[in-house]
């Protein structure tokens, strides 16, 4: 699937799931979850928007195994280098990073960072906002350096706004895991499928074999606009509720 499809489905997933998670008695009343604070701060408008962007960005993470993808150029050589490393470690495109294990591991890693290392957490947050902005097409067409600059400026601007609004990141791990999972499900709808149970090699396709061909008219002319409208609509209704 194309980057923006992944990012948009990540945003839709968070907009759909976050209020439900916050409303679950399990997450608000059980002392265990209050202590770990998974969703404690999830519902201020700024946090809601931050969560949506971060989940959209996390929905791009699995494709960092593909150094020639647009997404690898988000922050110039930094993300390109990261992508090279991820590609080498994971065994190439659509291997380890397109699995359940990766989603869970990265989710726990993000949760750990959020609780323990504020600097590491901030680096991750900036990376994910940058990936989300790049995926939805923010940049200057055909100009790599200018695009990276625009993206860096916007990303840090948003990060500063979230900082001023005292956005808490107790939900970071959940948002990251949801984003990665949505990516895997999305790629399972394409012809190649994903090794969902990696390290087992078997590739999974969704049972009814939709077999979307990446980047064709259906994805560009139908899926992308529909998802964009769903994102804006959900965002509007959720913010009205807050």
User: In the complex with Zn ion, which residue's Cβ is closer, 121 or 183?
Assistant: 183
User: In the complex with Zn ion, which residue's Cβ is closer, 19 or 57?
Assistant: 57
User: In the complex with Zn ion, which residue's Cβ is closer, 2 or 15?
Assistant: 2
Return phi, psi of residue 117, to 5°: -125, 90
CB of 212 to Zn ion, least distance (A): 12
CA dihedral 44, 156, 163, 242 (to 10 degrees): -10
- CA distances to 16, 55, 99, 175 from 231, rounded to whole Å, are 10, 12, 25, 16
CB of 194 to Zn ion, least distance (A): 7
CB of 143 to Zn ion, least distance (A): 25
Distance CA 88, CA 109 (A): 20
User: In the complex with Zn ion, which residue's Cβ is closer, 42 or 131?
Assistant: 131
Distance CA 51, CA 13 (A): 11
| Exposure string over 65-78, b if 16+ CB within 10 A, otherwise e | bbbebbbbbbbbee
Distance CA 160, CA 39 (A): 22
CB of 233 to Zn ion, least distance (A): 26
Tokens of residue 90, six digits: 């994971």
CB of 151 to Zn ion, least distance (A): 20
User: In the complex with Zn ion, which residue's Cβ is closer, 20 or 68?
Assistant: 68
Task: Compute the 3-state secondary structure of the chain and give helix, strand, coil in percent, each to the nearest 5.
Answer: 70, 0, 30
Q: Which residues bind Zn ion (CB under 5 A)?
A: 62-63, 187
CB of 60 to Zn ion, least distance (A): 9
User: In the complex with Zn ion, which residue's Cβ is closer, 39 or 86?
Assistant: 86
Q: Are 116 and 109 in contact (CB under 8 A)?
A: no
């Amino acid at each position: 699937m194309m980057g923006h499809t992944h990012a948009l489905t990540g945003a839709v997933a968070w907009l759909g799931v976050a209020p439900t998670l916050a409303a679950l008695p399990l997450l608000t009343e059980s002392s265990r979850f209050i202590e770990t604070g998974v969703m404690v701060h999830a519902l201020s408008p700024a946090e809601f928007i931050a969560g949506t962007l971060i989940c959209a960005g996390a929905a791009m993470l699995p494709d960092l195994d593909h150094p020639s993808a647009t997404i690898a150029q988000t922050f110039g050589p930094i993300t390109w280098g990261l992508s090279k490393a991820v590609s080498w470690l994971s065994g190439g495109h659509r291997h380890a990073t397109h699995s359940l294990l990766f989603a869970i591991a990265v989710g726990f890693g993000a949760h750990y960072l959020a609780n323990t290392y504020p600097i590491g957490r901030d680096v991750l947050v900036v990376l994910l906002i940058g990936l989300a902005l790049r995926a939805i097409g923010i940049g200057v067409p055909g100009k790599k350096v200018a695009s990276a600059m625009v993206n860096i400026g916007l990303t840090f601007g948003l990060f500063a706004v979230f900082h001023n609004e005292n956005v808490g990141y107790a939900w970071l791990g959940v948002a990251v895991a949801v984003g990665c999972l949505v990516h895997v499900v999305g790629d399972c709808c394409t012809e190649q499928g994903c090794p969902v149970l990696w390290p087992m090699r078997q590739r999974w396709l969704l049972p009814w074999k939709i077999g979307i061909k990446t980047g064709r008219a259906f994805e560009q002319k139908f899926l992308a606009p529909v998802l964009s409208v769903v994102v804006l609509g959900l965002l509007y209704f959720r913010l009205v509720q807050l």
